[in-house]
């Protein structure tokens, strides 16, 4: 480690081309993770592209998957400044767009790094703008050093599906304003550099030197083409046009993302905090990770497509008016279904994964019918109907393995009629069990298969699927009761084998499952009472904890459906507070109590968690209930509704068409709810919950309504 630090410092000091300043501490000469301290990162890229970059909170950019990085350093007068010497603040363009910004402040000088990817999926390029500003009262000599580093952004402990840490630089060749790394990657300096200095593991640093008067600023622009680098390099703009060119590319990228993320709008008061920004960022994170037709939870650790993740990402995107990505994903994934109806759990560059995960057939049916519910495209539903029929057949095949008389004995009765053991649920990857998670998805799949059959006029199949659905629901309800008795439980179990407690799995049965009646009411209430006691204990410090996963956002959605508005808002607010770094509106798969702990955090940002957040956030404003009711405002608190701006939802896509409505105060004791024309009145009407109490609601069939506070 000492020799590596010394070599790095030597290279950087040579790059300064000035008398050597006093060296900084060794810690800043290497990535933060070399000090065994966690660093956080985010992904940048064009939706649908197969190449994505990573940027960490110190401003290091990994220009391609597990590749080398570009890292900034400053020399201010005679002092070399590294990430460890600066006050650093990560943020996003406009607070929500997938354009990360990293701001350094040191010795009165500010460095603002803005990273974005522009272009189309097969013709995209990464751009990095470095803006230097002298915020002091005296002139400063400032040099920006952009070093090519043999390091990934991912830390070494990110070791699932490939280790992070070092990434070799074997060759560096400079050709004018372009540095070619490893023979194939072009790092193009749109701004004329003052020099390039090799010396660090065959890498080097582009050097830019400025004399900055008080209040003055200068800009440096770097670009890395992801495809056809020779073509990109041949058309570089003149150095004098670099800043204007970068500004135009950034403006076009902002416009493109703003259009994509603004098809549904929420007008929220200041009391809602960052909820709106975080929701738009979550949508962007799912789209950034998209590769071709694949909706995948990430760009590195989980660069593969699961039907489990994709089904819920589809639903979240459809609700926000984005239907092309879900449509492409479902059609693509359905093409991998086997003739016997088996649906693979996930697909990557190697093809379909052979691991049996029994939630998959129900999830595929759910994803197919979700498309129909939102766009009523009967032609597409007819095209995918054979996939629905085969998936139902496979669920029947699985269930038949637990229907014989051998499963009616007292010691096996609780397994009767269930799907067999699998490792679909992450908690059971070491040992397969009869996971109710699988059964909840199978039941939902059978329910949605009835919807598909009915819509297509397949009456015989609709009746057969309904009988399967009802029989399975009876067996599942009986199994849950038998498992509770076997383990003497007062809460809902997560598996029939273990009788374990996992409300994040149970929540799937509530939303999107819609199966509140599946459970004993007292046990269901007790389950979420115990969850909230545990969650509040962790947040207050009264209960010890080391880590949790934001998959718990599912519980916030379930709590809205259960009429527990305050609990749902508390869970959402507290998990939002664990976004890291806060300015990037994202979660990894794991949240450690110590944010500096050098621990595996899975993918970052994590697309499935982003989908869970979107679903939970939208449930505050509207959700569809299984009885044919559209429920509004079940999670909207009184403070939001009574604020000066009130609350407004525009063009939220539901099973009954686009929904727009507003809530505003009317005098001291009432709220006015206005629902815009265009929504189809559901079979059981629209139910508007009073923000004063989720127990009070008004049923609307065609007319506006005034909701009293009491």
Residue-wise pLDDT tens digits, 48-81 = 999 999 999 999 999 999 999 999 999 999 999 9
Is the pTM higher than 0.85? The answer reads yes
pLDDT for 695 equals 61
Under 8 Å between Cβ of 353 and 314: no
Taking residues 143-159, report their average pLDDT. 96
Q: If you average pLDDT over every residue of the chain, what do you get? A: 93
The whole-angstrom separation of Cα 549 and Cα 32 is 24
Q: Which two tokens mark 100?
A: 């990360």
Q: Which residue shows structure tokens 């008389």? A: 405
The whole-angstrom separation of Cα 330 and Cα 295 is 9
Taking residues 192-212, report their average pLDDT. 87
pLDDT in tens, 557-600: 999 999 999 999 999 999 999 999 999 999 999 999 999 999 99
Closest CA to 32 of 102, 115, 130: 102
The whole-angstrom separation of Cα 617 and Cα 640 is 14
pLDDT for 497 equals 97
Closest CA to 33 of 587, 603, 599, 605: 599
The whole-angstrom separation of Cα 54 and Cα 62 is 5
Q: φ, ψ for residue 355 (rounded to 5)?
A: -65, 130
How much is the CA Rg of the chain, to the nearest whole Å? 27
Q: φ, ψ for residue 249 (rounded to 5)?
A: -65, -40
pLDDT for 11 equals 42
Taking residues 234-251, report their average pLDDT. 97
**CA-to-CA dists, residue 400 to 343, 393, 438, 508, 634, angstroms:** 17, 10, 15, 23, 40
- pLDDT top residue among 22 and 308: 308
Share of the chain above pLDDT 70, in %: 94
Helix (H, G, I), strand (E, B) or coil at 176: coil
Output the DSSP codes for 122-154: TS-EEEEEEEEEE-SSS-EEEEEEEEEESB-SS
Residue 75 CA to its chain's centroid (Å): 37
The whole-angstrom separation of Cα 124 and Cα 51 is 9
Asked if residue 694 has pLDDT above 80, the reply is no
The whole-angstrom separation of Cα 311 and Cα 513 is 13
Asked if residue 708 has pLDDT above 80, the reply is no
Under 8 Å between Cβ of 445 and 508: no
Q: Which of 4-13, 18-27, 370-379 has the weakest average pLDDT?
A: 4-13
Closest CA to 34 of 145, 164, 160: 164
Q: What angle do CA 611, 615, 621 make, to 5 degrees?
A: 150
The whole-angstrom separation of Cα 28 and Cα 24 is 7
Q: Domains in the chain, please, with CATH?
A: 2-260 (2.70.98), 261-611 (1.50.10.10), 632-708 (no CATH)
pLDDT in tens, 377-422: 999 999 999 999 999 999 999 999 999 999 999 999 999 999 999 9
pLDDT for 20 equals 36
Taking residues 192-221, report their average pLDDT. 90
Q: How confident is the model at residue 14 (pLDDT cuts 50, 70, 90)?
A: very low
Under 8 Å between Cβ of 604 and 656: no
pLDDT for 309 equals 97
């Amino acid at each position: 480690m000492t020799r590596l630090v010394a070599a790095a410092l030597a290279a950087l000091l040579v790059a300064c081309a000035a008398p050597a300043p006093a060296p900084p501490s060794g810690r800043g000469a290497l990535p933060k993770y070399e000090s065994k301290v966690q660093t956080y990162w985010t992904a940048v890229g064009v939706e649908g592209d197969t190449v994505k970059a990573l940027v960490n909170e110190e401003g290091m950019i990994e220009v391609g998957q597990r590749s080398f990085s570009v890292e900034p350093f400053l020399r201010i007068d005679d002092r070399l400044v590294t990430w460890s010497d600066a006050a650093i603040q990560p943020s996003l363009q406009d607070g929500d767009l997938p354009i990360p910004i990293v701001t350094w402040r040191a010795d009165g000088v500010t460095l603002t790094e803005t990273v974005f990817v522009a272009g189309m999926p097969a013709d995209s390029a990464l751009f990095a703008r470095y803006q230097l500003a002298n915020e002091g009262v005296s002139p400063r000599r400032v040099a920006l050093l952009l070093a090519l580093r043999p390091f990934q952004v991912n830390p070494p402990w990110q070791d699932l599906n490939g280790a992070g840490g070092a990434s070799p630089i074997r060759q560096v060749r400079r050709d004018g304003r372009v540095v070619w790394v490893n023979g194939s990657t072009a790092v193009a300096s749109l701004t004329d550099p003052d020099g390039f200095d090799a010396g660090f593991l065959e890498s080097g640093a582009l050097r830019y030197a400025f004399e900055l008067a008080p209040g003055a600023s200068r800009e440096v622009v770097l670009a890395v083409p992801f495809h056809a680098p020779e073509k990109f390099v041949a058309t570089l703009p003149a150095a004098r046009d670099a800043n204007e060119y970068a500004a135009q590319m950034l403006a076009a990228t902002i416009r493109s993302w703003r259009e994509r993320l603004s098809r549904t709008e929420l007008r929220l008061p200041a009391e809602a905090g960052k909820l709106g920004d975080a929701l738009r960022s979550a949508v962007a994170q799912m789209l950034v990770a998209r590769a071709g037709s694949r909706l995948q939870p990430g760009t590195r650790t989980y660069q593969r497509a699961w039907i489990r993740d994709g089904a819920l990402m589809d639903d979240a995107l459809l609700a926000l008016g984005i239907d092309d990505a879900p449509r492409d994903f479902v059609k693509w994934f359905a093409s991998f279904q086997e003739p016997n109806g088996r649906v693979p759990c996930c697909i990557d560059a190697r093809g379909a994964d052979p691991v049996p995960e029994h939630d998959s057939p129900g999830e595929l049916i759910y994803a197919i019918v979700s498309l129909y519910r939102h766009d009523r495209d009967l032609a597409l539903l007819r095209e995918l109907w054979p996939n629905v029929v085969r998936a139902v057949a496979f669920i029947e095949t699985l269930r038949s393995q637990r229907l014989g008389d051998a499963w009616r004995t007292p010691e096996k009765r609780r397994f009767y009629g269930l799907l067999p053991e699998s490792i679909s649920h992450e908690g059971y990857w070491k040992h397969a069990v009869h996971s109710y998670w699988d059964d909840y998805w199978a039941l939902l799949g059978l329910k949605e298969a009835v919807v598909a059959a009915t819509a297509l006029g397949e009456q015989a199949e609709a009746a057969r699927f309904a009988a399967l659905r009802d029989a399975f629901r009876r067996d599942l309800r009986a199994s849950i009761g038998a498992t509770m008795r076997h383990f003497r439980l007062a809460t809902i179990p997560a598996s029939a084998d273990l009788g374990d407690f996992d409300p994040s799995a149970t929540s799937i049965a509530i939303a999107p499952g819609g199966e509140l009646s599946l459970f004993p009411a007292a046990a269901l209430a007790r389950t979420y009472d115990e969850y909230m006691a545990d969650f509040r204990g962790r947040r207050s410090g009264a209960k010890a904890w080391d880590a949790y996963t934001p998959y718990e956002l599912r519980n916030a959605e379930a709590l809205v459906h259960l009429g527990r508005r305050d609990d749902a808002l508390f869970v959402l607010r507290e998990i939002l507070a664990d976004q890291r770094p806060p300015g990037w509106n994202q979660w990894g798969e794991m949240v450690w109590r110590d944010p500096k702990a050098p621990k595996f955090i899975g993918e970052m940002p994590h697309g499935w968690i982003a989908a869970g957040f979107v679903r939970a956030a939208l449930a505050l404003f509207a959700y569809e209930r299984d009885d044919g009711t559209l429920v509004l405002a079940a999670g909207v608190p009184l403070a939001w509704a009574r604020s000066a701006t009130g609350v407004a939802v525009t063009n939220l896509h539901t099973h009954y068409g686009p929904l727009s409505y507003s809530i505003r105060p009317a005098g001291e004791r009432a709220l006015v709810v206005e629902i815009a024309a265009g929504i189809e009145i559901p079979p059981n009407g629209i139910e508007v919950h009073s923000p004063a109490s989720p127990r009070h609601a008004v049923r609307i069939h065609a007319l506006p309504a005034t909701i009293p506070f009491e």
